[in-house]
Structure 1
Amino acid sequence: MKNVATATAPAALIAMSVGVAALVPVGASAQEHGGHESGSDHSHEDHGGQGQKGGKGRAPGEASAGGHRGMEDIFRDIGSADEDSDRPSWAGEKGGKNEHGGQPGSAGSTRGDLYGDLYVILRDDDGVPILNEDGFVQPIDAEGNPIPLDDEGAPIDLSLVQEVEMGRLNVGRAPTSVLIQRADEVVALLSTATAITTDAAGRLVVTNPDGTTKTIDAPLENLALYVALMTEGTIPGVTDLPGTDFDFLVDGELTPEDMAVATSLLAGASDKFETLSPDAVAYINAILDINDTTVGDVTYSDVDYSTYNYDRSDTYGDVTTTVLIKQDDGSWLPTEVNIYDAVFGNEDYSGTGTFTAFATAVDDARTVINYIHEYAVPADTPAEAEE
């Protein structure tokens, strides 16, 4: 990831793993201001800003523009640690508060050197920041109105800004040898599978040659697969999958189908208890260098979401799972439930061609993961379990 001098505001932390933090500028990510709500999403109108994209974002159907990375490279990038430090290799040097967003003097050239407060800002449909007439990213208030900035791009009234709440990506550090082993294991698991399906949240479920099944639920594996799909359009090292339903995962092109699976993968890597807002997803994408682009002092993840569609009822309307449900007598019984009803209360959402639709799908999948984890039926649970 690039070294960036952000256009605005003081420094703030994004926690990416236990005991580790990465720092990102307010302009380092991009998405329209939108919540996890019913109805259809839409972008903010341009309030006179003159921001522009720095080039065409990588679109569905396009292969990776850069050199291809293997799964070992991806695992190392997101989880490696210096043997003599408790900070991962990408965490960079510690830096102090920098009042208006320039780089601290100790800034180096790794991921941890991106600084800035995490504010909700004005964005277009692909999540690209809409800059104001002075070239600064434009924070917006709770009503979607631009917040006045000073001459250096910092909000004049900090009480108006919307701070982005960030959960932790559950990715612990590990020695390189362990990361290589885990990369090899996930490639072998998928390459030898006799069947591939998904669980209620959309995470990959593999049938092994001996007939046993395994849900890929480890956060590190999910995050590595997410990065692979969003940057390479394939799972490096896996050349074929059983059947044809998941051929798109290994075709080397970023497709809407890849994006649909990717939303569940990112959800599987996140803190299942913490809501992932569109802003949070955008900052995560920037940290992970998902097709990052820099215009002036503003760096953001630039992906073309124009062909991506998400409809909650279409995705979860027919999905069922078995969980423990409390009965009138206080006992808990394994019961089959409909996810759309039990988790979302039959409240629909539909989004077409926008980053907000993608980010909403991520948080919906996270919500489902939290639900099935909270009420999971243990393998040795009897027919009736007392509270």
Structure 2
Amino acid sequence: SEGRGSPSWSHDTLPEDVKLGRLSVARAPAHVLDKALIEAISTMDFALYNLTSLSDVLAAIKSGTISGETFTRVDSPLQNLALYKDLLTNGWVGDGTTKVPANPSGTELLLAVFLGSAADKTIPITADTVTAVDTILQVSLPNNVTAAKLAADADAVRLAILAAHEGE
């Protein structure tokens, strides 16, 4: 029965020497991720998650504003990984009334924002990081998204968050 023995992903091989840091919360049981997803969606400020370019997202994170208005970014690693998993599972995230991405071309950008926001500010995100998180969460990237591209974009998000925190 569930809850006994090894988790389903424990028999899969994770990349060697990958440092997960805050991303290790991906190991949380499904019901914990489900609760985090509900909390994240209920408090999401969709302004950031509706931006359509990585450069716009990075600028917003660094400045803390979008078009002069402040916004709230989901910071919790558990909530961000729940959003990441939900996006990969359903193709969108939201409450049914409001959802992102507005179009499928925004999927990779959102994945990068969720993964970069979930990660430690000081541990680089690599393709192996993406592979390890996806293995633990039992999800797969869409065919048009590579682990290397997602890692590069998520790492850019991580660095923007680090820069914003250092500027406080």
TM over 0.5: yes
Match runs of 1:125-164 below 5 Å: 164=17
Corresponding residue to 2:15 among 118, 122, 141 = 118
Match of 2:110 in 1: 261
Match runs of 1:1-387 below 5 Å: 89=3, 93=5, 108=6, 110-116=7-13, 118-119=15-16, 164-168=17-21, 169=23, 171=25, 180=35, 182-190=36-44, 196-197=47-48, 200=58, 213-240=71-98, 246-248=101-103, 255-291=104-140, 303-305=142-144, 354-376=146-168
User: Any conservation in 2 of the 1:189–1:206 contact (CA below 8 Å)?
Assistant: no
Which ranges in structure 2 are unaligned for 5 or more consecutive residues? 50-56
Which moved further from structure 2: 110-119 or 268-277? 110-119
- Structure 1 Cα separation of the partners of residues 13 and 138 of structure 2: 17
User: Any conservation in 2 of the 1:167–1:275 contact (CA below 8 Å)?
Assistant: no
- Structure 2 Cα separation of the partners of residues 289 and 257 of structure 1: 22
- Distance apart, 1:201 and its partner CA: 6.8
The 3-state SS of whatever aligns with 1:239 is coil
- Structure 1 Cα separation of the partners of residues 77 and 59 of structure 2: 14
Q: CA 1:303–1:272 in structure 2 vs 1: closer, same or farther (change >3 Å)?
A: same
- Structure 1 Cα separation of the partners of residues 98 and 162 of structure 2: 31
Describe the superposition over 1:298-341 as per-residue Cα deviations: whole angstroms up to 9, x where unpaired: xxxx6312xx5xxxxxxxxxxxxxxxxxxxxxxxxxxxxxxxxx
Which amino acid counterpart does residue 131 of structure 2 have in structure 1?
A
Q: CA 1:185–1:212 in structure 2 vs 1: closer, same or farther (change >3 Å)?
A: farther
- Structure 1 Cα separation of the partners of residues 126 and 90 of structure 2: 25
Which amino acid counterpart does residue 166 of structure 1 have in structure 2?
K
Q: Which has the higher helix share?
A: 2
User: Any conservation in 2 of the 1:270–1:366 contact (CA below 8 Å)?
Assistant: yes
Describe the superposition over 1:333-366 as per-residue Cα deviations: whole angstroms up to 9, x where unpaired: xxxxxxxxxxxxxxxxxxxxx4322221112211
- Structure 2 Cα separation of the partners of residues 212 and 368 of structure 1: 16
The alignment of Structure 1 onto Structure 2 pairs a total of residues equal to 153
- Distance apart, 1:111 and its partner CA: 2.6
The 3-state SS of whatever aligns with 2:153 is helix
- Structure 2 Cα separation of the partners of residues 360 and 366 of structure 1: 10
Larger radius of gyration between Structure 1 and Structure 2: 1
The 3-state SS of whatever aligns with 1:258 is helix
Which amino acid counterpart does residue 256 of structure 1 have in structure 2?
S
Determine which structure has greater relative contact order: mean sequence separation of CA pairs < 8 Å that are 6+ residues apart, divided by chain length.
2
- Structure 2 Cα separation of the partners of residues 288 and 260 of structure 1: 19
The 3-state SS of whatever aligns with 1:224 is helix
Q: CA 1:278–1:247 in structure 2 vs 1: closer, same or farther (change >3 Å)?
A: same
Q: CA 1:171–1:240 in structure 2 vs 1: closer, same or farther (change >3 Å)?
A: same
- Distance apart, 1:188 and its partner CA: 2.8
- Structure 2 Cα separation of the partners of residues 239 and 200 of structure 1: 26
- Distance apart, 1:215 and its partner CA: 2.0
Match of 1:38 in 2: none
Q: CA 1:178–1:283 in structure 2 vs 1: closer, same or farther (change >3 Å)?
A: closer
Which ranges in structure 1 are unaligned for 5 or more consecutive residues? 1-81, 83-88, 94-107, 120-163, 249-254, 292-301, 309-353, 377-387
Q: Equivalent pairs: percent with the same residue?
A: 21
Q: CA 1:357–1:237 in structure 2 vs 1: closer, same or farther (change >3 Å)?
A: same
Describe the superposition over 1:28-72 as per-residue Cα deviations: whole angstroms up to 9, x where unpaired: xxxxxxxxxxxxxxxxxxxxxxxxxxxxxxxxxxxxxxxxxxxxx
- Structure 1 Cα separation of the partners of residues 156 and 65 of structure 2: 22
